[in-house]
Amino acid sequence: MKYIKLIFKVIFVALIPIIFQLFGFSITGIYIGITEAAKTLGEDIDPNALADSMANDIARITPHVILISSICVIFAFYLIHKGKKRNNISVAYRFNKIQTKHIPYVIALGFVGCLFSIGFSSLINLASLDPEMIETLSTLVVNNSIIITLLSVGIFVPLCEEIVFRGSILKNLSGKLSVKWAIIIQAILFSAYHMNMVQAFPTLVLGLLTGFAVYYTNSIWSGIIIHILNNLIAIILSNVLSANFEMSNLSYGVIMVISGFSIIFIIRKLSRAKSNWTIVEEPIQETLVTEDIL
């Protein structure tokens, strides 16, 4: 029974960012629909032109919606842990200072993890599985609102997702399971959370790397740094490289192999220099303590 309750709890937590985004896009869609209808009031309406105009408006404002919804999710988790019955968010989700000896390994993981995913995705040609999703993702990161994209996809989305997955979900899972199984399960959930085949493997790798980094350093900042680096590299490369840029499969294979061995090397180094990991318990309520004494 306790595992069924745990399953429902972690699934609900994983759905929170999706719920906020759906709400944001619903409000945005209604607003755009009303404004477009007002523009064409009293005129002959071309349904195709109207649909294209609305699609362009939604694509243009998507980074803004993601930014606002991510900030709202972060604030919601902060408020949840503001109550007396819970640890504050810094304690509950391990916002501990990273030890100096861990910082180079964490930064290196951010780079080689991204390179490994790029090498694998290109070698296997994951883009061919869902061309429409590739176009959607490209529109999200390559647009005229590059500053907003860097803030949303590059910084606040990683912060939001780390709080949800390496913060809340990893905390709940590690309280009932071994830490390593908890890391694996939260990584699978993180991959499923993105709901598309194109991102399935890269997000699984990212979930594992950030999970083990948080575990070995006992700090969620490790996961945040790796996640931010991963997303920023993806955004910068997408904007700098031409859409027709190509490399040989051999080159992608070499990138994947070198970065893969680098990941293994770095993870082993982190495991040997790991900080103490303890289960974070919620504070005991005073009423319960009093009852026990009485």
| Model confidence pLDDT, tens digit, residues 149-188 | 999 999 999 999 999 999 999 999 998 899 999 999 999 9
Does 293 fall in a domain?
no
Does 251 fall in a domain?
yes
Mean pLDDT of the 11-18 span: 95
pLDDT value at position 287? Answer: 39
| Model confidence pLDDT, tens digit, residues 182-193 | 999 999 999 999
- In this model, does residue 291 exceed pLDDT 80? no
The Cα–Cα gap between 282 and 45 comes to 59
Does 190 fall in a domain?
yes
The Cα–Cα gap between 170 and 181 comes to 10
| Model confidence pLDDT, tens digit, residues 23-37 | 999 998 888 888 877
- In this model, does residue 69 exceed pLDDT 50? yes
pLDDT value at position 294? Answer: 36
Alpha helices (H) along the chain = 2-39, 47-80, 89-92, 103-124, 131-141, 146-151, 157-161, 170-174, 179-193, 197-217, 220-240, 249-272, 286-293
Per-residue exposure over 62-82, b if at least 16 CB sit within 10 Å of its own CB, e if not: bbbbbbbbbbbbbeebeeebe
Provide CB contacts within 8 A for 242, sequence distance 6+.
none
- In this model, does residue 61 exceed pLDDT 70? yes
Its pTM stands at 0.90
CA dihedral 11, 17, 18, 24 (to 10 degrees): 160
pLDDT value at position 31? Answer: 85
Q: What is the DSSP letter of 97?
A: P
Q: How many domains does the chain have?
A: 1
Domain enclosing residue 180, as ranges = 2-272
- In this model, does residue 84 exceed pLDDT 70? no
- In this model, does residue 202 exceed pLDDT 60? yes
Does 252 fall in a domain?
yes
The Cα–Cα gap between 86 and 73 comes to 18
pLDDT value at position 45? Answer: 67
Does 156 fall in a domain?
yes
Does 292 fall in a domain?
no
pLDDT value at position 188? Answer: 97
Neighbours of 191 (CB within 10 A): 20
Does 279 fall in a domain?
no
pLDDT value at position 259? Answer: 96
87: left (phi over 0), alpha (psi -120 to 50) or beta: beta
Mean pLDDT of the 101-114 span: 96
pLDDT value at position 216? Answer: 96
- 50 pLDDT band, cuts 50/70/90, is low
pLDDT value at position 42? Answer: 63
For residue 118, give the amino acid letter.
I
For residue 106, give the amino acid letter.
V
Cβ distance 61 to 247 under 8 Å? no
The Cα–Cα gap between 225 and 113 comes to 12
Cβ distance 240 to 233 under 8 Å? no
Instruction: Choose among 186, 193, 217, 203: nearest CA to 113.
Output: 203
Both tokens of 11, joined, read 């699934």
- In this model, does residue 108 exceed pLDDT 70? yes
- In this model, does residue 46 exceed pLDDT 80? no
| Model confidence pLDDT, tens digit, residues 203-238 | 999 999 999 999 999 999 999 999 999 999 999 998
Does 243 fall in a domain?
yes
